[in-house]
Structure 1
Amino acid sequence: MSEPLTAASRPRAAHRSRRTIATASATALLATLFTTSAGVAFAAELPETYIDTASTVWSYSDDDTDPAAGSDDRLSWTTSDFDDSEWKTATGSFGAKNGAAEGIGDDFPITTLLNQYADGEAAPNVRTFHFRTGVTITADELTELNGLNGTVTYDDAVQIFVNGTQVAGFVDDKVDAAPEAERNLMYAGESNGSPITSTFTIPTESLHAGENTVSVALYQDRDTSSDIYFDLSSLEPAVTPEHASFDNLVMTIGGDESARNLTWYTDVDEAQYVQYAAAPASGAEFPADGATTVEARGGETTSGEQNRRATIEGLSENTTYAYRVGSDALGWSDAQTFSTADFSGDYNFLFFGDPQIGASGNVASDEIGWQDTLDVALEQFPQSEMLFSAGDQVNTASSETEYDAFLSPTQMQQIPVVPVNGNHDVGSKAYEQHYTTPNLDTEAGAALSDSSSGGDYWFMFKDVLYLVINSNNPDIDAHEQFLRDVVAEHGDEAKWSVLAFHHSIYSVAAHVNDENIISMRNELPTLISDIGIDVVLQGHDHSYTRSYLINNGELANPDETEASNEVVAGEGDVLYVTANSASGSKYYDVTAPDAWYASVINQEKVRNYTNIEVTDDAITITTYRSEQTGARAAVNSVVDEVTLTRDDTEAPQLTVPENGEVEQGSDFDPMAGVSAVDNTDGDLTDAVSVTGSVDTATLGGYTLEYSVSDAAGNTQTATREVTVVAAGAGTGPGENPGGGAGDGSGDDAASGGSNDSDSARGELPYTGAEALPWLIAAGLLVLLGAAFATTSAVRRRRAHSA
């Protein structure tokens, strides 16, 4: 084995960089004084890391052989007594790209070139690479440790062992499923593109005083893979910090406009809380005494950290709040602020296509592009009430480095985020562990494996119903049940319905003819039209497409051939929008420019964002460029704009007085008490027409017919009966003005024109309470009559007998 590093010989390597909200970051445990019988002594001072890239020497095997061949124990090569003296030795990082020591990307430099190919020259690849090193931990150090926290970057899969016991594994499902005898030498993992960075924890139970053997199995995913990579960059002491860290804090949407969800990562498995209160004056300290405290829930993440999540409910409108996370025992994060607006009325939100941090191979560059797009969009639309992401927030589902970058903008802690589960998000529990979503149904759009993320969810926001489904799951029946159930329960409460999912079914670029896309395009549109969705928001294809109105999978207007900035939807008509990249990490060329459904196509390979304005009567969707690239691509110049309204099919509400009487010779105005209003056109009273007249000089009955039409031609009618009676003979309509609303059906009873005889005379029908005195009087008269008759009969009988 190579010479182990000791605490004295190890350089002080930098900690892994994580975005932290904490007011004081966790540090190595300070040396404390304690007194013994021998005098004053100091506790062990722990190194910053036990392993680092530059100086840790690894023994490694890259010759496509099983290091445990001939042994009954396939993990014999991970123990301290294994003889690795014939292996190569070098420092990291290790890798190869098409047999060379460059080409993976600036973020993944190769210090030691691995033998990529089994025959040394060309495919097939070496299946599994094996690494070993030693870490010395003194007895005093061991008493201070709560474990070791490691950071490893790899391509394609990896398993990590300490003293013969596995302590971590990433993208290694195929290894676990393989027969035991094959696990040391096999292909495993997935074609990830760029290398993945993950973190893990070694428990103290796996360590001992003295030299500890750290072993790594690195797996190539297939015989033709172009690259291989390994770098265990740090192995830091885990200690109880003076202050917990609070990383990746993100605010996500709540169940409605009065709620918010918060999620964060932390390095301590202790109780934590959210405290929030109306924001104090600028510069004032957080008002802890008057704050509301909500206990957070959570647990260990797949990256070896802890997450915590909490829901804030019952917020007031038009209020700015301050909040912080943590506890009195562990410390508190810096205070953040967020604001609510009116809980009803017009509003806007921002929609972003696949940020996919890391897709370019340069996480830092993608982070800058993502931050800049947010800055540009929110400077232009500072009152935006949601940040809606179309999915693929990161490039590699399990990469905490990419999540660090995506969640780094302060705006993510201040404006509620609506995340969609993309195909680059689904392959790890990290998506579920970073975001808290409302009304999540884990059975609809369920996770495809124990290690992936899933579920469909919904929320209401200012009377708009939003539904978000996990299109990675191809079970359309389960999605359909979820959508129909939610729409049946809440659709009548919504003035608009918006559906979002990642895999665009009406795009025009690289994925347009993917098998799963074709399947969804054949099955989903009829359902979407049937349940009354107005707008569908999508991503995945990294180019901009806006559809014509589509009904049941066909053009709503077969004769429509040119794009319009104003579209009017009839029943079942749906507008589909596919967003381009918000970070600039990746673009796809247009491959289907003549797609029958595409009204507007744009691919300039320029970062985009979309502002969506919502009113009672319209949804306006405007897509902008967020960077300057050439004369056509000025910042905040418009890519496309469309306003969606509904075909007006609702008749106005017409109100006329009830049937009644008018005295002979009196004045009569047939328009008195008549009104009309339309949801689109407003007050239409002046547009009401009346047919027929009442001659108050002549006794008799008269019929009046009222009618009103809105701008769309929808007409409402009502009928009214008026009787002219002799002076003093009737109540007159003034004494019983009443009122009735016409429904356009022509039914007199429904329109205030009942011909019931009592109603025609202007008389109100009797109720039981009103008739009771007369019934009692009649009953008494009957009883008196019967008594009189009985008395007379008795007298007649007596007279006869005498």
Structure 2
Amino acid sequence: MALFLAGVFTAMPCRSEPVKVPDEIIYKPSPVPDRIILTPVGDPSRMMAVTWRSDTSAPQGYAQIARAEHGPGFVSKALQIPSATTSLSTETGAAIYHSVIFTDLLPETGYVYRVGDGLNWSEWFQFTTASDQSAPFSFIYLGDSQNDIRSLWSRVIRLAFSKAPEARFLLHAGDLVNNWWRDVEWGQWFSAGAWLNGSFPSVVTPGNHEYYRNEGSEASLLTPHWRAQFTLPLNGPPDLEETAYYFDYQGVRIISLDSNRLLRRQAEWLSTVLADNPARWTLVTFHHPIFPSSSNRDYPALRERWLPVLDNYKVDLVLQGHEHCYSRSGQQICQNVAGGTTVQCATSGTVYVTSISGPKMYDLHRMDWMVRAAEDTQLFQIIRIDGNTLSYQAFTAAGDLYDRFDLVKPPDGKPNQLISYPPVMPERLRHPEALIGIW
């Protein structure tokens, strides 16, 4: 037996060394559709946009859609819609981005769809339209993904969904990638979200890493990837299409602002959007924070242009990124309430959150406007809105609850009541004693 085994082992060939597959090969476009993503485009109870990528072998694409059924019978009933197309050439090759807007949908209804060229099809995805009435729902909020997306960010977006499988959409507060021109980074971002992107809408706002400047020019230019791969509402101010926009979701107005440029123009537009706002709740997202998380990172132009508008219309919650740390605002404590919670003063205004979901970390300088803060921590947030209550929870990448509060909207139109819950874990700060700023 020993001789037999020895003969077997000596006959086996030597193992060759592994070869690294270049990212340009991994994320190269092909006839098979990829980077499939749903986005809001209008009334989410009756419309949905889908965008995807292919190579140039079949320039015309199609989406097929049908009402979801208990079995496979929907396939023969699917409606086929030709796509609009945009060409984009990058280091991974020439590609065509396709987009279709599904219209005339029914509220609170499941739909199945697939995309392709008529021969090479994706799998069937399924989504559910919003209600056309105010109704409870939740969503996931993510700060910058940006760096090491495939290796270190994928787990965060996937854990977020496992914690909130009932979430209706995902909100990304800018800096989705680090280098706007690198198609392989965009490939990693889409790969990390995988089937989630095709099943739940993504609300995206651009960060500074989605912009660039040509040599000798002061003008900021949006990466060509943005409008090629995201189909978003066109109701924003001129020259800010698909970066500044809004939509209403089940009694909540959700507004994206572009904090990279044209701040005054957006302030005027924002005032108009907020003045004519039938929604009970209002959420605004943009990339650069209103209040700094460090003494060497501050954006006073945002406070000058946008803060008066946000205050005037009593926006409920602002969701931001950029700082590569976590901070959440609050004001002085008025009183204690049962259970160890605390209530914010009735004169308080908007709650501001800055968060980070990717692995790139910056230092934080603890300031007294911060109710809760963290360094060196990847997080995701689950936000639920039900009637007069908005519930917020922030979790670490290990799945532990890090921050929690409720906003309760009084029926008499007075300012929201902010209820902060006692933390279940210590603040994750490098220098917790360093309170250096007052705002």
* Bin of the TM-score, shorter chain as denominator length: 0.7 to 0.9
The equivalent residue for 1:506 is 291
Matched, 1:271 2:66: no
Matched, 1:544 2:326: yes
The equivalent residue for 2:351 is 575
The equivalent residue for 2:25 is 16
Taking the aligned partners of 2:274 and 2:197, their CA distance within structure 1 comes to 29
The equivalent residue for 2:386 is 615
CA shift at 1:298, angstroms? Answer: 2.1
The equivalent residue for 2:35 is 248
Q: Deviations over 1:615-656 (max 9, x none)?
A: 2211111100122xxxxxxxx2111001112355359xxxxx
**Does the 8 Å contact 2:86/2:228 carry over to 1?**
no
CA shift at 1:567, angstroms? Answer: 4.6
Identity of aligned residues (%): 23
Taking the aligned partners of 1:19 and 1:386, their CA distance within structure 2 comes to 28
CA shift at 1:402, angstroms? Answer: 0.7
The equivalent residue for 1:643 is 406
The equivalent residue for 1:494 is 279
CA shift at 1:579, angstroms? Answer: 0.8
Taking the aligned partners of 1:638 and 1:335, their CA distance within structure 2 comes to 34
Paired AA for residue 325 in structure 2: S
**SS state of the match for residue 384, structure 1?**
coil
Relative contact order, higher structure (CA 8 A, sep 6+): 2
The equivalent residue for 1:596 is 368
**Residue ranges of structure 1 left out of the alignment (5+ in a row):** 1-12, 21-25, 27-243, 447-453, 550-556, 628-635, 652-679, 681-802
**SS state of the match for residue 53, structure 2?**
strand
Paired AA for residue 345 in structure 1: A
CA shift at 1:415, angstroms? Answer: 0.7
Taking the aligned partners of 2:274 and 2:103, their CA distance within structure 1 comes to 23
Taking the aligned partners of 2:95 and 2:179, their CA distance within structure 1 comes to 18
CA shift at 1:333, angstroms? Answer: 2.2
**Does the 8 Å contact 2:173/2:319 carry over to 1?**
yes
Q: 1:276 to 1:567 in 2, by over 3 A?
A: farther
**SS state of the match for residue 138, structure 2?**
strand
Taking the aligned partners of 1:645 and 1:342, their CA distance within structure 2 comes to 22
Spell out the pairing of 1:285-364 with structure 2 (5 A cutoff): 287-303=74-90, 304-328=94-118, 330-340=119-129, 342-343=131-132, 344-356=134-146, 359=147, 363=148
Taking the aligned partners of 1:391 and 1:19, their CA distance within structure 2 comes to 24
**Does the 8 Å contact 1:18/1:247 carry over to 2?**
no
CA shift at 1:457, angstroms? Answer: 0.8
Matched, 1:434 2:229: yes
**SS state of the match for residue 424, structure 1?**
helix
Q: Deviations over 1:661-713 (max 9, x none)?
A: xxxxxxxxxxxxxxxxxxx9xxxxxxxxxxxxxxxxxxxxxxxxxxxxxxxxx
Taking the aligned partners of 2:270 and 2:283, their CA distance within structure 1 comes to 11
CA shift at 1:444, angstroms? Answer: 5.6
Paired AA for residue 26 in structure 2: S
The equivalent residue for 2:14 is none
Taking the aligned partners of 1:501 and 1:302, their CA distance within structure 2 comes to 28
**Does the 8 Å contact 2:333/2:345 carry over to 1?**
no
Taking the aligned partners of 1:508 and 1:425, their CA distance within structure 2 comes to 21
Question: Which structure would you say has the larger Rg?
Answer: 1
- Paired residue for 2:253, among 462, 465, 473? 465
Taking the aligned partners of 1:565 and 1:420, their CA distance within structure 2 comes to 33
**SS state of the match for residue 472, structure 1?**
coil
Paired AA for residue 37 in structure 2: V
**Does the 8 Å contact 1:390/1:502 carry over to 2?**
yes
Spell out the pairing of 1:386-785 with structure 2 (5 A cutoff): 386-408=169-191, 409-427=194-212, 428-441=223-236, 443=238, 445=240, 455-473=243-261, 475-489=262-276, 491=277, 493-509=278-294, 513-514=296-297, 517-549=299-331, 567=343, 570=346, 573-580=349-356, 582-584=357-359, 586-590=360-364, 592-593=365-366, 595-603=367-375, 605-627=376-398, 636-649=399-412
- For these two proteins, the number of residue pairs brought into alignment is 373
Taking the aligned partners of 1:518 and 1:406, their CA distance within structure 2 comes to 31
Paired AA for residue 321 in structure 2: G
CA shift at 1:263, angstroms? Answer: 1.0
**Does the 8 Å contact 1:543/1:589 carry over to 2?**
yes
Paired AA for residue 358 in structure 2: S
Paired AA for residue 363 in structure 2: D
**SS state of the match for residue 477, structure 1?**
helix
Paired AA for residue 144 in structure 2: D
- TM normalised by structure 1 equals 0.44
Q: 1:370 to 1:647 in 2, by over 3 A?
A: same
**Does the 8 Å contact 2:97/2:229 carry over to 1?**
yes
**Residue ranges of structure 2 left out of the alignment (5+ in a row):** 1-20, 213-222, 418-439
Q: 1:645 to 1:567 in 2, by over 3 A?
A: farther
